[in-house]
Amino acid sequence: MFKHAWLLALALTVICWTVVHAQQRPVLDKIANKVIQKYQQSSCEELAKQKSEPKTPQEQKAVELLRHDPQVRAEFLNKVAAPIANKMFECGLIP
């Protein structure tokens, strides 16, 4: 019985931590979702063209934040890595 109570407490702690943690970074989630949409909705040609265009001030600020905060960078990359990698594969940019 004690094992089950301990496991339930642990599970609830993990769930609560996840919910609280997700609510702390709504801006990060919004930016990640915007990047994911960009890759999912753009053609390969559009992505190649956009890559050569200069970054907006907002994009530059976001990139600087990612460069200087490893925890935020890890969260961001965990959210966007799979959709970006899938698009790159579709575009023939990775084997």
Tally of structural domains, the chain: 1
Evaluate whether residue 6 is within a structural domain.
no
**What is the predicted pLDDT for the residue at 58?**
86
Evaluate whether residue 83 is within a structural domain.
yes
Q: Which domain holds residue 38?
A: 26-90
Evaluate whether residue 10 is within a structural domain.
no
pLDDT, tens digit, for every residue of 23-49?
567 888 988 999 999 989 999 999 888
Which residue type is seen at 59? E
- Cβ contact 76:28 at 8 Å: yes
**What is the predicted pLDDT for the residue at 3?**
41
Evaluate whether residue 9 is within a structural domain.
no
Evaluate whether residue 74 is within a structural domain.
yes
83 — pLDDT class (breaks 50, 70, 90): very high
**What is the predicted pLDDT for the residue at 8?**
44
Evaluate whether residue 7 is within a structural domain.
no
Instruction: State mean pLDDT over 81-88.
Output: 93
**What is the predicted pLDDT for the residue at 74?**
94
